[in-house]
């Protein structure tokens, strides 16, 4: 059908004409761009009766269950902010500017999105919220890669990002942003909190063998934990990187048997952690003896949802967590009560941090008297509060990281129910896990200046 002669029918002039035509069409609809009315900041709810928040959580992929729990917490927080339900931690937050009448008198609405635990999908979803749904704040995330990627996006777009579950040092270190805030603890804090407990429980002379998920979060955690175990006199036998999603870890576990190490540290999270822990125990590591010492396994970052996945295997294994539902302070109890009544089971640490972040954002808006991101950010910076389940807490102004007590937990030997899997061994005081802003593990970043998108 198509032979040579007619292909050259398109002369250069034709092409020029065509591009001129397209250029004319291109120019025309430019007035459709957003914010033509000249708001003083991006997505200003203005005189409307509602304000929209964006909940960006993994709904598919490996962290979908955590994402589902985060979403439950967000919905609960919205309920409480709008004055429905029993109010949960709104009643225990100290000091509090919350009214139970929405935020700044506007009813809180929300949109949800699926991050798929991929930075691309998470950013696409956040962009939809910002560009289409007009949200004033995005929150969520169940992995550090996603949180850092979305945090960068919110900085560039000019809205506030309240990080959900993200544990990497980089989120408020190398990759910190003026518009981003993290309530969750980080790998350094895990190491600092675990160190003394491990020394007390297992002594000063141990040889640790690290299995580390081969990506950024795994490396920062390995670095943090190695630093704190070597500080108490432990030696490091070997650090082995494992591919993410390896499934079967047997080929990484058998070398541990012959390494002379007496402690295995699993820098894994999610599915990797469930698999590697289960398999390590199948290989008899828990019953092993090395030069008269019982072999020990440590999982530096614990989560109850994952402990559920690993079942029996978590018994007696130490780790750290941001929060646990069995805490007895008034804030935790109020939260567990209202979450439990709503859904029939206790919340996870992911749910907790997400709920707290939403309330803190609302509180900051009330105190600032506006949704303008820079003023809200200023209200969060250096803010000290209590009653949110973690004791006295401070949002450090220099890096937007919350400083609070950290929990060291252990897999419970005799759980009384399927939720009762971890017991709190020690509440490590804030002073012990605090670090300087320019600590080498966090160096190299810059908050930059706040962006309101105008």
Partner 1 sequence: MDALFLQVLNGLDKGGAYALIALGLTLVFGTLGVVNFAHGALFMAGAFCAVTLEKVLTISTKVKDESITFFDAYKEVPILEAKFPVVGAFIVDFSVPFAILLAIPVMLFLGLLMERGLIRHFYKRPHADQILVTFGLAIIFQEIIRHYFGANPIPQSAPSMVSGSANIGALFGLGENVVYPWWRLIYLTFAAIVIASVFAFLQFTTFGMVVRAGMQDREMVGLLGIDIQRRFTIVFGMAAVVAGLAGVMYTPILPPDYHMGMDFLVLSFVVVVVGGMGSLGGAVLAGFLLGILQSFASMNEIKSIIPGIDQIIIYLVAVIVLLVRPRGLLGRKGVMEE
Partner 2 sequence: MKNSSALSDWVLFLAFAAAVLTMPLWLAPFGANYPDLMQKFAIFGVFAIGFNILFGLTGYLSFGHAAFLGVGSYTAVWSFKLLSMNVLPAIMFSIVVAGVFAFLIGYISLRRSGIYFSILTLAFAQMSYNLAYSVLTPITNGETGLQLSLSDARVLDAMAGITVTRSLPSTNLFGMKMSGMPGFYFCAVVLIVAFFIALRITRSPFGAMLKGIKSNQTRMAYTGLNTRPYLLWAFVISGMFAGLAGAMMAVTDPLAGAERMQWTASGEVVLMTILGGAGTLIGPVLGAALIKYFENIFSSFNERILNRAFEALPDSIQSIVVDTVGLFVGEGWHLTLGLLFMITVIFLPGGIMEGVRRITALFDRDKSGSSSAASNTAAAEHS
Minimum gap (Å) between residue 345 Cβ and partner 1: 7
- The residue (of 186 and 332) whose beta carbon lies closer to partner 1 is 332
Residue 114 engages partner 2 in binding (rule: CB under 8 A): yes
175 binds, among partner 1, partner 2, none (CB under 5 to 8 A by kind): partner 2
- The residue (of 334 and 447) whose beta carbon lies closer to partner 2 is 447
Based on C-alpha coordinates, what's the Rg of the chain?
25
- The residue (of 391 and 419) whose beta carbon lies closer to partner 1 is 419
Give, as ranges, the residues between 322 and 381 that touch partner 1 (CB under 8 A).
333, 336-341, 344-346
Give the range of 284-292, 352-360, 366-374, 445-453 binding partner 2 by CB under 8 A: 445-453
Q: Is 379 helix (H, G, I), strand (E, B) or coil?
A: helix
Other CB atoms within 10 A of residue 117 CB? 23
Q: Is 148 helix (H, G, I), strand (E, B) or coil?
A: helix
Minimum gap (Å) between residue 23 Cβ and partner 2: 8
- Whole-angstrom Cα distance, residue 440 to residue 407? 24
The strand pair at 207-213 and 235-242 is best described as: parallel
Residue 91 engages partner 1 in binding (rule: CB under 8 A): no
- Whole-angstrom Cα distance, residue 353 to residue 183? 7
Residue 34 engages partner 2 in binding (rule: CB under 8 A): yes
- Whole-angstrom Cα distance, residue 365 to residue 102? 11
Kindly tell me which residue out of 312, 398, 438, 446 binds partner 1, with binding defined by CB under 8 A.
312
Residue 125 engages partner 2 in binding (rule: CB under 8 A): yes
- The residue (of 172 and 229) whose beta carbon lies closer to partner 2 is 172
Q: Are 399 and 170 in contact (CB under 8 A)?
A: no
Residue 184 engages partner 2 in binding (rule: CB under 8 A): no
Kindly tell me which residue out of 155, 275, 322, 338 binds partner 2, with binding defined by CB under 8 A.
155
- Closest C-alpha among 76, 71, 74 to residue 88: 76
Please work out the total of residues on this chain that contact partner 2, with binding judged by CB under 8 A: 60
Backbone φ/ψ region at 85: left (φ over 0), alpha (ψ -120 to 50), beta: left
Minimum gap (Å) between residue 226 Cβ and partner 2: 18
Place of tokens 């749904």: 133
Angle 82-127-99 from CA coordinates, rounded to 5°: 15
Give the range of 55-63, 76-84, 157-165, 406-414 binding partner 1 by CB under 8 A: 55-63
Residue 175 engages partner 2 in binding (rule: CB under 8 A): yes
- The residue (of 210 and 400) whose beta carbon lies closer to partner 1 is 210
- Whole-angstrom Cα distance, residue 273 to residue 253? 13
Packing angle, helices 119-131 and 144-157, rounded to 10: 30
Which residue pairs, CB below 8 angstroms and at least 24 apart, start in 301-305? 301/167, 301/187, 301/190, 301/221, 301/269, 302/409, 302/422, 303/66, 303/269, 303/348, 303/349, 303/350, 304/348, 304/349, 304/419, 304/421, 304/422, 305/65, 305/66, 305/69, 305/348, 305/350
Place of tokens 């635990």: 117
Q: Is 126 helix (H, G, I), strand (E, B) or coil?
A: helix
Kindly tell me which residue out of 45, 88, 102, 113 binds partner 2, with binding defined by CB under 8 A.
113
Minimum gap (Å) between residue 105 Cβ and partner 2: 22
Q: Which residues in this chain contact partner 2 in the complex, by CB under 8 A?
A: 1-7, 9-10, 18, 21-22, 25-26, 29-30, 32-34, 59-60, 64, 68, 111-114, 118-121, 123-125, 127-128, 131-132, 143-145, 148-149, 152-153, 155-156, 170, 175, 214-217, 241, 243-244, 446, 448-449, 451
Q: Which residues in this chain contact partner 1 in the complex, by CB under 8 A?
A: 60-65, 214, 238, 240-243, 245, 247-248, 250-252, 254-255, 257-258, 271, 274-275, 278-279, 282-284, 287, 305-306, 308-313, 333, 336-341, 344-346, 416-420
């Amino acid at each position: 059908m198509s032979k040579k002669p007619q292909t050259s029918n398109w002369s250069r002039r034709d092409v020029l004409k065509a591009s001129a035509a397209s250029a004319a069409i291109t120019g025309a609809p430019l007035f459709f761009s957003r914010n033509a009315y000249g708001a003083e900041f991006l997505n200003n709810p203005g005189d409307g009766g509602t304000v929209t928040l964006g909940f960006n959580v993994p709904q598919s992929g490996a962290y979908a269950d955590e994402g589902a729990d985060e979403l439950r917490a967000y919905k609960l927080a919205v309920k409480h902010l709008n004055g429905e339900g029993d109010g949960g931690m709104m009643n225990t937050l100290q000091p509090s500017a919350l009214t139970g009448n929405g935020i700044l008198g506007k009813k809180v609405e929300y949109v949800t999105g699926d991050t798929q635990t991929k930075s691309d999908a998470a950013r696409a979803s956040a962009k939809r919220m910002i560009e289409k749904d007009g949200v004033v704040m995005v929150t969520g995330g169940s992995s550090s890669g996603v949180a850092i990627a979305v945090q960068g996006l919110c900085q560039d777009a000019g809205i506030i990002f309240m990080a959900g579950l993200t544990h990497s040092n980089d989120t408020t270190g190398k990759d910190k942003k003026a518009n981003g805030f993290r309530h969750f603890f980080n790998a350094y804090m895990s190491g600092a909190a675990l160190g003394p407990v491990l020394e007390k429980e297992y002594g000063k002379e141990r040889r640790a063998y690290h299995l580390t998920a081969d990506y950024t979060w795994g490396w920062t955690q390995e670095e943090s934990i190695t630093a704190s175990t070597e500080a108490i006199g432990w030696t490091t036998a070997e650090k082995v990187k494992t591919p993410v999603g390896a499934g079967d870890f047997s080929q990484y576990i058998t070398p541990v048997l012959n390494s002379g190490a007496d402690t295995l540290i699993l820098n894994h999270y999610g599915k990797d952690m469930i698999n590697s822990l289960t398999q390590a125990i199948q290989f008899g590591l828990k019953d092993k003896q090395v030069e008269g010492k019982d072999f020990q396994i440590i999982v530096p970052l614990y989560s109850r949802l994952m402990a559920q996945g690993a079942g029996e295997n978590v018994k007696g294994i130490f780790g750290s967590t941001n929060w646990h539902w069995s805490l007895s302070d008034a804030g935790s109890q109020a939260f567990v009560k209202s979450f439990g009544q709503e859904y029939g089971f206790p919340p996870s640490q992911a749910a907790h941090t997400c709920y707290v972040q939403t309330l803190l954002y609302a509180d900051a808006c009330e105190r600032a008297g506006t949704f303008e991101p820079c003023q809200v950010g200023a209200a969060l910076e250096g803010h000290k509060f209590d009653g949110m389940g973690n004791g006295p807490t401070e949002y450090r102004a220099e890096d937007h990281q919350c400083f609070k007590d950290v929990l060291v937990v252990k897999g419970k030997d005799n759980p009384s129910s399927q939720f009762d899997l971890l017991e709190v061994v020690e509440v490590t005081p804030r002073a012990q896990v605090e670090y300087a802003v320019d600590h080498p593990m966090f160096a190299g970043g810059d908050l930059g200046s706040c962006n309101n998108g105008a």
